[in-house]
Every structure is written in C-alpha cells, then in structure tokens.
Amino acid sequence: MALVKLNDLEIEVEDGTNIVEAARQHGIEVPHYCYHPGLTRPANCRMCLVEPHVFFPPAGAIVPDRQLATGCTTVLRTAPPDRKLDGKYDFIVYTDSPRVKKAREDILEFLLVHHPLDCPVCDQAGECDLQDYSYRHGSDKSRYLEVKNVPPKKDLGPDVLLYSTRCVVCTRCIRFCDEVAGSGELGLINRGSHDEIDIPRSHEGTPIQLLDNKLAGNVVDICPVGALISKDFLFKSRPWFMEKANSVCSGCSVGCNITVEYKADGVYRLKPRFHEDINQHWMCDDGRLGYHYVNSDDRLQLPLKRVDAELTPTHWADALTVIQEQLSEVAADDVVVIGSAQATNEDNYVLQQFAHDVLQTTQLGLFGQLSGEEHKFPQFTIEADKNPNTAGARTILGSANGNVVLENEALWEKVSGAKVVYLVSGAPERPLEDAEKAALESVEFLIVQDVLPSEVTQLADVVLPGTTFAEKDGTFTNSTGWVQRIRKTIDPPGEARVDWEITQQLAKQLGGEMNYHFAGEIAIAIAENVQGYADATHQNIGDAGIKLAQ
Amino acid sequence: MVEERRILYEHLDVPDINTFDVFRQYDGYTRFEKAIAEYQPDDIAKMVMDSGLKGRGGAGFSTGLKWSFVPKDIKPCYLCCNADESEPGTFSNRYVLEKNPHLLIEGILICCYAMGIETTYVYIRGEFTLGKKMLDAAIKEAYEKGYLGKDIRGTGLNVDIYSHPGAGAYICGEETGLIESLEGKRGQPRNKPPFPAVEGVFMKPTVVQNVETLCNLPFIVGNGVEWYTQMGPTYADTRSDPPTPDPNTGTKLYCISGDVNEPGVYELDLGLTCTELIEVAGGLRGEEVKAVIPGGSSAPILTHYELDTRLDFTSLTLAKSMLGSGGIIVMNETRNIVDCLLNIMKFYAHESCGQCTPCRWGTPWVRDIVQRIADGNGRKDTITRPKFGVAENGRWGDTGETEEIYEDLDLLESVANNIANVDTMTWNTICVFGIAVSWPAVSYMRKFRPEFEAAIREGKLVTLPVAEATVPPEENYAYQQRFIPKEFADLQGITGDSRKEHL
C-alpha cells in the first residue's frame, strides 16, 4: 500500500493504482476522456492533468513539479524509504491546484473549438462528459472566431452512427475494437485537426468493413461525447426521463450485469454495468438489442384456452379452473412439469414445489432457448447457451427429494408418453425441432406459460401469459456460478403475471399450501432448502451478486 | 574573419567519396578499426561522455548521458539513426547521406560497438530519395567488404543496418514518433517516460541519434577527446554548487539560409555569434538584419539587438531560444514578421499529428488568428488597461501606465501559451511539438509587436523599418520574463482566470 497525499486527504492506495482511480475511490473526480479502465492509456486527451509535488534538492523543499502529469498514466507506488516525501508520503499530488484548474479549462476550450454545440439535438446530452466537464471546469464563453471543421456524419455499421463533428478523438472506440473485440474495424483517417474516426473504405468511399462485430454497441457506451450514437436509441428519449434499474442480461448464460433504462411504456435500452469477474465493462449486441420482445405488441396479455381448435382469450379464473379439472383427473406419473432456464430461480423453485408437493410428481423437465454459437473475443465471450439461468434452474428443479430433471431427448421421450404437460417456457420466439414438436403434439393436454406467441403456444391447450426479465424480481445463476439479481422495471402487459405467482395460484387452486408474497421470500426458502444457496438471499446478493461455492 | 573548420564535411567534395575505396583512402573505417582494436566498449562510451558531445538533432541532450541510461542487461538493444531531417531551414544531414554515407556507417559501427547493439535502423526522410539510394548502396558495399554483417573483421561483432524511408511527416522526426512509424504504426509520439533508452523500438532499449551526432563519433575516437574538446566553448553551470562544466564542444553543421549572399551548410566551431556567422555566409543580402531564426523554424526568433548571441546550446538556451538543428534563417529589413509567422504556423498546423488535444486544435487556431491578422481582419479594442512591467519599486507589477488592447494579439499569446507555456516551459501536450508551435508564435509576437499592431491597425501587412518594428530588450516582456523571480514565474499564467487577466 502506498501512502498518498491527495489534495488535503491522506489516503492509502494499492500499488499500481493510477491517480484517476485513486481519486475516484475517495470521491474526487479527475476529469478524463481518453482514459477508460478497461482499455490501454494513450493519455491523448490531456484532460486528467494533475500536479505532482516533488522534492527539489536545491531548495530543500517539496515543490510543485515543473510539468503537470496525466493522472491516467501516473501510477502510484510505494517509494523506497529514502525517497519518501515529508518523511512518510509515497506521493503527493494535487487535483485542484490553480495550475490544474487552468489546464483543465484550457483543454476544454480546445475541445470545444470545433464542437458544434448541438446539445439540443444530441442523444448524449444529459450523460455527456463534454457537457458535464464544461459545466464544472470550463469557461463560460468561447474565444474562437474562426471557421469550424465540419466532418461528415457517417454510418459505421448496423447499429452505430458517427457524428464526426462531436468527436473529441479520444480513440476509446478504436482501442476497444483493437483490444477487447480484437476486430480492429475502426481507425483514424487524416491528420491533425482533420482527424476522423472511420471504418476501412475504398477510394470511392464505400465501406470495405462495417463495424458489425457482436460487441460493436459498446463503442457507443464508451464514447464520452455524442459522437457514436446507437441507431436503436436514436432520438427515442432523453436520458434524464428514463428510470434505471440494475439487472442482469437474459441473453445468454454469461449473465452480464446491466442497467435497464425504462419508462412507464417500456424498456428503452440496456447498458452494461461493471462486474469485475463476469463482463468487466462490456456486453454483446445480442443482449443489448435483445430486449425488443419485452415491448412487443404481440405479447400475451390474457390467458388463452382452446375452444373448437382455436385459442380464445379467457379470464384467469376460467383458465385455472380448466387446468385444475385436467390435473385432478390424471395420475401423478402422467404429468410432466417443465421448468424454464429463462425463468428465475424463484419461478423454478415455486414450480418444483408445486410439482413435488401438490402434484406429487418427481418427473421434471428443463426447457429453454436453443443453443446458439459461442463467440470468443480477446477479452469477452458470448456463450452458446442462450439461457440466463440454466445452471440455476437445473439445481433448483432438482433440489427436492427424489426429483429428476430431464433434458433434451430424455425429456421429449417422457413428454410423448404423458397426458398433461405444464410447460413454463418464457423463451421468446422459440422454434421447435421436429422431435420436440412431435412429442408436444402427442400430449393430451398441454399447458404453456409464455410471454409471446410461438410454435410452442400454437400447440397448447391453455396458454398462461407470463413475464419477461424486465417485469419481475428474482435471481439468475450464470454458467460460472454467480447468483445475481434482476429487478422489476415495468409492469407486465395486460393481465400477464409473474410466473411464480401463476404457479402458486394454480397450487392453491389444487389445494396446495403455498403463500409467498414476494420474490425475496422465495429466495429465503431457496437459501434454506437448496444446497449451495445458503447465502443467496436477495439481501446478500445485492448489486454485486454472490458466487456459489463450487 | 572566421574560417570554416571542416571535419564532418572535410572530404565531402572528394569525387566518389561515396564509394568504399575512395572513402578508405581518406582514413575511412580506420577510426572504427582503431576503436575495436584499442578500446573496450565502455571506453568508447566514456570518451563520448568526456567529449561533451551533445545531440545535434535539436534537443542538445548529452549523448554520453543518454547512452548511460540504456540498461545493459536487456537485449536486444537497438540503434535508431534519425535521418528524418524535416525542420524547415535545416539541410545538413542530407549532404552526408548523399555524398558521404560511409561516414555515417562508420559512426553507426562505433556506436554499435560501444553499446553492444547488433541492429540499426536508419529512418530516412521519405523525400530524400537520392540520400536513401546512396546510403543503400554504401550499406551494400560495406556488407561486401565485411564491415557490416556477421563477425565484422573477425572480431565477433555483428551489425546489421536497415534503412527505412519515412512517409513525409514532420512529427516522425520526434524520436518516439519515429519509433512508432518505424514499427509500422501511425506516426504519433509516445508518452514519456518511459524514454526510448529504456523502452523504444519493439519495446526494447533504443539509442536514437541524429546523423550528425553519429558522424562525430569517428573523429572523437580517431583524434581523441582532448582534440575534440578544444573546439567550442565550455561554460560553467552555476546552478549547481560547485559549478559543473557545461561543454559545447565540437563543430556544428550550420545551415544558413535566407537573406545572406552565400547560403549553404557551413561547418564551424560552436560558440560563434550570429554576426560572425552571417559574415561567413558571404554577408547579409540587404541593408540590415531584422531577425535571425537560430535553430530551425521552431526556435524563438532573435532580433537585431541579439546578434551577438553565441550560437551554441547553452548561450541560446540562456537567450530563451535554442540551437535546435542549427537551421539558421536570416531575415533582412524587407521581411514582414507577421507574414513569416503565418508561413511557419501554416506548416505547424499542417504537421500536427493530431494525437493530443491542445496541439490538434490549438495549432490550426493559432494559424487562423495569424491569418486573420495578416489578412487585415485583426481585432483591436480601444479600451485601455493597466500596463504590466517593472514598476517603480523594482518589482514586476502594475506600472501605473495604460496601454491599448490588441485583442487578437492577446488571444494569440494566450492560445499559444495554452498549448505550451513558453514562460514556464511547461506543456500540456504529449511531445515538444507544442512548444515548437508556441515558441515562434509568442516570441515573434512579443519581439516584433509593433509590426503586428500595425497590421491590425492598418488592416493590411505593413513592413516597418527595423528599428521601429523591434521591441527593445529593456521594454520587452519576453526578455523581462527571464529575470522574473521564481515565485512570480509560478504564478505567471497560472493564477485564477487567465481570460480575465488577458482581456
């Protein structure tokens, strides 16, 4: 640990921490553009200049260093005993001296000379570092009278637009493509004040390589200004009108930490949230843009039941009564309850409790999205398993005595001989493979709980409208054993209900004793009853998640 | 009358000196042979240190000191010869490359022997097509004659030289920009530290030396340190106690251009005055000297009051200018300083690599302001403000007088100083390109302020007579800056809101 005098504070920081991070840990902001903790440090924006103090032998005193230093590249380390300043400090640095303030103001002035100042029509306004720092550290007027550069707006790829005029050439996006994505689509063209970010183009200007890697959306997040803009979010909302909730991406089993930004009428965008061991600062575009089904107009809003071969809307009491009639007629062995790798641990726990205690069947299944492709990047992996909670669902469903969790062939073999199947899907737009379709078609009475009409719901006799990850509280367990919270953001559409509530209602209808009021209560039950989950209460999990003992 | 002392250029005009055989007749490679026969590598490094040889590329950093920073235990270590001579006003290296490339190869061999280097890259300016051709031919010949390659002259010494053409960027003459360019990247300087001596080409220790510096090595080795230190003055650096010697030894290839009768490269001892140099170059063309740029276009300008300044590293540093690459441009009374500054600023705005913020957007801004003044659109405000200077009490402060405000001149100074502050010698940029921009901008403006004011006042370029155009040293802010006590220097341009101070 190095003892550092930071302004008036005396702080201890780990060796190897840079000044920006050390200051951030103690609530002091060192403004910066090019520095990003997940990328290399070119120190080209010059915004994070700070004033180190050094021992000056001729004066025999500690004086400000002649040159200001960049906070991002200046690393704090324990000094040898004879090099301590004031007898004890390893480093003395000021982030608020008049010199530093003046330097910041000057750099901001340079950054703004060619900036179009089009904040009123800029998507970044409200979460823009250039705005924030100008407000805090900048001058209130411009001295620039000359003609501004107006480089063109560019379409870089499927989801990314570049407003070159707003660019401060911090090169975060270039470094991201080089270092994290490893695809290197972006580069600088021209020189000096005509520097522009661009993709490779032919002499005629037609793109040779689009910015279309699966991590491309991250460049929008890391752009400190409004230069890189997501087409998906373009002109949709002002950032300050949106509510934010910490959650977890449901796109695959990595379990990237995300922030869901939403208004009453739907989810607007997903942004990655830092988690050191899971996704660092990033998320993939499949996850980022995969939220659209939540807002879909096709969402199942009412329970459906099959009347004369047609699925007809009905009300909850009716749908549950129909199910109750069917379930009470069959033997326990003829019922298969299938949980979902798309559903939360809480949903699956209530479901297995329903199967084990009420229906007294131990034959459970696990259903979810089909596997996709695994994509490996130098610093990121998109997993093949497209379900957020396969590991959790498997453990939870099999947690009660004698429960057997069937998957794939074994499951469909079991299903094809069953009379009643209660299938919790929650997998949007899930296509069915032939074997699955044949098995489900042979079922006498198929109950499907899902969020969107799909091939699965087409085969159902009763469809119960469930909820997506954005509409409920709960926990997901990712492939590496991290249990993490998802949070309710918007209300479910129509009469759709949270999945565990539906199951609990059904259990009550069948005379079961279950009385959970909220997801946290179920998590406590899980902690008590499921091996390995002893600490996994919502309170313990918090925003950081907890890792299960292997 | 001062005589030229030709050492590096001694045999430059010998026909076919570029061929091995002729070079050999004129002691070629004998100095290298002497080095490997008589000296250990450490002895050579010590000789270079003792000779006081300062890097001729521009910074004037002690070569021996630079070599001492190279870690001995990390191999491979590289030598990078900087032949990207692109400072306006400088053209000495190209003659060596075009006419006497074997001298450079001999210098490289001595440096490689001293530092245990096996690979050398010569980064040649892309425009030097002839120079590259000649050097390549010389390298080929040296390989054939066994002076390059494996086991040179049976000594077990291996040296390979690769010549690499630049693509025409000024900034690739900056040592780390050169290294980036050599590695195949965009020519943008690196953050320092680490310096190239510790982490250079391919992240290995690298010695970066100018052509002229390397060409000095054969003569230091061949004729000895004592002979070498006789040339040029050695000053005493009184900042330390006891004073340390500050050598400015050897000869310098001065590239004299502009208003002299016989422009060209002259090899002279360090420490001559401007006046002497102009005499050597055939005298002034015109009536009187208006200004002299002492070290390439980025050096602060000297006025006719400063013509007795000695042209060596130390004297020019004390005169708040620099010897730089030794590109001396003389201007007579017909030259308009605003126009000169515009020319230089156009160059720097075009050549900024665009890596860091202040330089990327500051240099074109400075150019635009000068352009506006030159076009006659400079802004003048009639408001007067307190004039700062040496007040009655002898301290720096309000003199009680008032002066007219020329808004654009204040803006020019302020913007240039925000890129790199010439008074405190601090820069907000990654490399020293920033100071190379603000030095001319601020020094021209301060020293020839009447001409700038006239351009704004009259709405067109006005060339004033020399006496009127120049600010006398005793009234000159730029000179007074030299004597400002430290506590004021710390405050200068630093306290509070600069805008308020300046406008």
Q: What is the pLDDT of residues B431-473, one digit of tens each?
A: 999 999 999 999 999 899 999 999 999 999 999 999 999 988 7
Q: Are residues B208 and B325 in the same domain?
A: no
Compute CA distances A458 → A133, A304, A345, A462, whole Å: 55, 11, 26, 10
Q: Given this model, what pLDDT does residue B385 score?
A: 62
Q: Are residues B93 and B172 in the same domain?
A: yes
Region B273-285 average pLDDT: 93
Kindly state the percentage of chain B with pLDDT values over 90. 69
Using CB atoms and an 8 Å cut-off, which of residues 82-121 of chain A contact chain B?
98-99, 102-103, 105-107, 109-111, 113-114
Closest CA to B502 of A67, A95, A106, A108: A106
CA distance B478 to B301: 11
The angle formed by the CA atoms of residues A529, A530 and A532, to the nearest 5 degrees, is 130
Of the CA atoms within 13 Å of residue B63, those in its CB half-sphere come to 33
Closest CA to B336 of B203, B181, B464: B464
Contact A67 B350 (CB under 8 A): no
Q: Are residues B99 and B185 in the same domain?
A: yes
Q: Are residues A436 and A344 in the same domain?
A: yes
Structural domain ending residue among the three candidates B275, B304, B332? B332
Q: Chain B: residue nearest A140 by CA?
A: B499
Q: Chain B: residue nearest A112 by CA?
A: B361
The pair phi, psi for residue A87, each rounded to 5°, is 80, -15
**Which site among A33, A143, A225 would you substitute to test the B interface, given the most B Cβ atoms closer than 10 Å to its Cβ?**
A143
pLDDT band for B223, please (50, 70, 90 cuts). very high
Q: Are residues B262 and B320 in the same domain?
A: yes
Q: Chain A: residue nearest B348 by CA?
A: A192
Say whether residue B499 is in contact with chain A using an 8 A CB cutoff: yes
pLDDT band for A89, please (50, 70, 90 cuts). very high
**Which site among A32, A99, A115, A170 would you substitute to test the B interface, given the most B Cβ atoms closer than 10 Å to its Cβ?**
A99
Q: Are residues A310 and A224 in the same domain?
A: no
Q: Given this model, what pLDDT does residue B398 score?
A: 72
We report the CATH number of the domain holding residue B399 as: 1.20.1440.230
pLDDT tens column, B477-492? 555 444 333 333 333 3
CA distance B502 to A51: 24
Q: Given this model, what pLDDT does residue B386 score?
A: 66
Nearest-CB residue to A102 (from B186, B372, B494): B494
Cβ contacts of A169 on chain B, cutoff 8 Å: 354, 357, 360
Q: Chain A: residue nearest B489 by CA?
A: A66
pLDDT tens column, B9-54? 999 899 999 999 999 999 999 999 999 999 999 999 999 999 999 9
Q: Chain B: residue nearest A41 by CA?
A: B191
We report the CATH number of the domain holding residue A64 as: 3.10.20.740
Nearest-CB residue to B354 (from A106, A109, A195): A195
**DSSP symbols for B123-182:** EE-TT-HHHHHHHHHHHHHHHHTTSSEEEETTTTEEEEEEEEE--S-GGGGSHHHHHHHH
pLDDT tens column, B367-414? 999 999 999 998 877 555 666 777 777 777 777 676 677 889 989 999
Contact A113 B365 (CB under 8 A): yes
Q: Are residues B328 and B342 in the same domain?
A: no
Q: Given this model, what pLDDT does residue B63 score?
A: 94
Domain interval for residue A161: 121-127+140-295
Q: Given this model, what pLDDT does residue B239 score?
A: 66
What's the whole-model pTM score? 0.91
Distance from CA of A73 to the nearest CA of B (A): 9
pLDDT tens column, B79-136? 999 999 999 999 999 999 999 999 999 999 999 999 999 999 999 999 999 999 999 9
User: Does B40 reside within a domain?
Assistant: yes
CA distance B89 to B111: 28
CA A233 vs. chain centroid, Å, equals 16
ipTM of the complex: 0.90
Contact B361 A114 (CB under 8 A): yes
Compute CA distances A228 → A95, A131, A219, A313, whole Å: 29, 15, 7, 45
The pair phi, psi for residue B298, each rounded to 5°, is -85, -5
pLDDT tens column, B148-206? 999 998 888 999 999 999 998 999 999 999 999 999 999 999 998 899 999 999 999 99
What is the overall mean pLDDT for chain B?
88
Q: Chain A: residue nearest B407 by CA?
A: A143
DSSP B465: -
Q: Are residues B341 and B326 in the same domain?
A: no
Where does residue B282 fall: left (phi above 0), alpha (psi -120 to 50 degrees), or beta otherwise?
left
Contact B360 A192 (CB under 8 A): yes
Domain count, chain A: 3
Contact A113 B361 (CB under 8 A): yes
Nearest-CB residue to B354 (from A64, A70, A192): A192
Contact A192 B349 (CB under 8 A): yes
pLDDT band for B309, please (50, 70, 90 cuts). confident
We report the CATH number of the domain holding residue A478 as: 3.40.50.740
Say whether residue A56 is in contact with chain B using an 8 A CB cutoff: no
Q: Are residues A375 and A247 in the same domain?
A: no
Say whether residue A58 is in contact with chain B using an 8 A CB cutoff: yes
Residue A228 bridge partners (DSSP): A162
Nearest-CB residue to A107 (from B353, B424, B428): B428
Q: Which residues contact B337 (CB under 8 A, 6 or more apart)?
A: B290, B291, B301, B331, B444, B448, B451, B452, B469
Q: Are residues B206 and B71 in the same domain?
A: yes
User: Does A133 reside within a domain?
Assistant: no
Domain count, chain B: 3
Structural domain ending residue among the three candidates B332, B354, B373? B332
Torsion of CA A426, A432, A438, A444, to 10 degrees: 20
Say whether residue A142 is in contact with chain B using an 8 A CB cutoff: no
Q: Are residues B308 and B375 in the same domain?
A: no
Q: Are residues A332 and A359 in the same domain?
A: yes
User: Does B407 reside within a domain?
Assistant: yes
Say whether residue A458 is in contact with chain B using an 8 A CB cutoff: no
What is the overall mean pLDDT for chain A?
92
Contact A106 B430 (CB under 8 A): no
Q: Are residues A376 and A245 in the same domain?
A: no
Q: Chain A: residue nearest B428 by CA?
A: A46
pLDDT tens column, B130-145? 999 999 999 999 999 9
Using CB atoms and an 8 Å cut-off, which of residues 16-45 of chain A contact chain B?
42-45
We report the CATH number of the domain holding residue B282 as: 3.10.20.600
Contact A110 B418 (CB under 8 A): yes
Q: Given this model, what pLDDT does residue B245 score?
A: 80
User: Does A112 reside within a domain?
Assistant: no
Using CB atoms and an 8 Å cut-off, which of residues 147-206 of chain A contact chain B?
147, 168-169, 188, 190-195
Structural domain ending residue among the three candidates A295, A312, A342? A295
User: Does B237 reside within a domain?
Assistant: no
Contact B498 A102 (CB under 8 A): yes
Q: Chain A: residue nearest B354 by CA?
A: A192
Q: Given this model, what pLDDT does residue B501 score?
A: 31
User: Does B447 reside within a domain?
Assistant: yes
User: Does A115 reside within a domain?
Assistant: no
Contact B356 A46 (CB under 8 A): yes
Q: Are residues B391 and B493 in the same domain?
A: yes
Rg (CA), chain B: 24
CA distance A249 to B359: 42
Cβ contacts of B494 on chain A, cutoff 8 Å: 98-99, 102
Q: Are residues A35 and A148 in the same domain?
A: no
Q: Are residues B117 and B208 in the same domain?
A: yes
User: Does A132 reside within a domain?
Assistant: no
Nearest-CB residue to A139 (from B353, B354, B499): B499
User: Does B243 reside within a domain?
Assistant: no
User: Does B234 reside within a domain?
Assistant: no
Q: Given this model, what pLDDT does residue B384 score?
A: 59
Q: Given this model, what pLDDT does residue B351 score?
A: 94
Q: Are residues B267 and B406 in the same domain?
A: no
Q: Are residues A347 and A480 in the same domain?
A: yes
We report the CATH number of the domain holding residue B143 as: 3.40.50.11540
Structural domain ending residue among the three candidates B297, B332, B367? B332
Q: Which helix (H) or strand (E) holds A155?
A: strand A153-155
Q: Are residues A188 and A260 in the same domain?
A: yes
User: Does B241 reside within a domain?
Assistant: no
Q: Specify the amino acid at residue B325.
A: S
Which of B36-40, B63-67, B123-127, B313-317 is predicted with the least confidence, judged by mean pLDDT? B313-317
pLDDT tens column, B226-266? 999 988 888 877 666 677 788 889 999 999 999 999 999 99
Domain interval for residue B357: 337-502
Q: Given this model, what pLDDT does residue B240 score?
A: 66
Q: Are residues A191 and A247 in the same domain?
A: yes
Q: Given this model, what pLDDT does residue B112 score?
A: 95
Contact B354 A103 (CB under 8 A): no
Structural domain ending residue among the three candidates A295, A319, A347? A295
Q: Are residues B77 and B219 in the same domain?
A: yes
Cβ contacts of B191 on chain A, cutoff 8 Å: 42-43, 70, 73
Contact B368 A68 (CB under 8 A): no
Q: Are residues A350 and A485 in the same domain?
A: yes
Sole residue written with tokens 């000779």: B51
Q: Given this model, what pLDDT does residue B476 score?
A: 64
Contact B349 A193 (CB under 8 A): yes
We report the CATH number of the domain holding residue A182 as: 3.30.70.20
User: Does B414 reside within a domain?
Assistant: yes
Q: Are residues A284 and A153 in the same domain?
A: yes
Contact B362 A192 (CB under 8 A): no
Using CB atoms and an 8 Å cut-off, which of residues 394-423 of chain A contact chain B?
none
Q: Are residues A156 and A268 in the same domain?
A: yes
Q: Given this model, what pLDDT does residue B495 score?
A: 31
Structural domain ending residue among the three candidates A295, A325, A347? A295
